[in-house]
Amino acid sequence: MRIADYSVTKAVLERHGFTFKKSFGQNFLTDTNILQKIVDTAEIDKNVNVIEIGPGIGALTEFLTENAAEVMAFEIDERLVPILEDTLRDHDNVKVINEDVLKADLQTRVKEFENPNLPIKVVANLPYYITTPILMHLIESKIPFAEFVV
């Protein structure tokens, strides 16, 4: 069973007593076909590092870790960090960072990848209202990202 399976998502949220925060525009994908299409569209493989923005409970992250060299997941909601540590405990190529990506020093963060010379792709399932500010922040960071899939 996958994190994205509705019954698993529901059980994880209940086990952790998680309630959605409207101010973050939170929504969690529970369609594994969509998640696989995101990974396929981004052409994620073991020769790529990924920055994921807004991993939620780790549904997309799970797919990314199975395909990427390494995943750095930025989660602004501190309540989700212990959930991510739980759901992703079997994946050793992911680093969860409890930080607002808009305030992150991305130049420093990308150096934390085990192999920072690999191409870096950004993958995110973002609320509409925050997409443009995040894309601008990424572009202004002057990091030569290989691709954005948002």
Whether 101 and 125 have beta carbons less than 8 Å apart is answered as: no
Is 114 a known ligand-binding residue? no
**Secondary structure (3-state) at 43:** coil
Whether 90 and 112 have beta carbons less than 8 Å apart is answered as: no
Is 27 a known ligand-binding residue? yes
Q: How many CB atoms lie within 10 A of CB 71?
A: 29
Query: Token pair of 42, please?
Result: 């981004």
Phi, psi of 122 (to 5 degrees): -110, 130
CA distance 90 to 99: 22
Is 125 a known ligand-binding residue? yes
Is 75 a known ligand-binding residue? yes
Is 56 a known ligand-binding residue? no
Is 77 a known ligand-binding residue? no
Known binding-site residue numbers: 27, 29, 54, 75, 100, 125
Known binding-site residue numbers for S-adenosyl-L-methionine: 27, 29, 54, 75, 100, 125
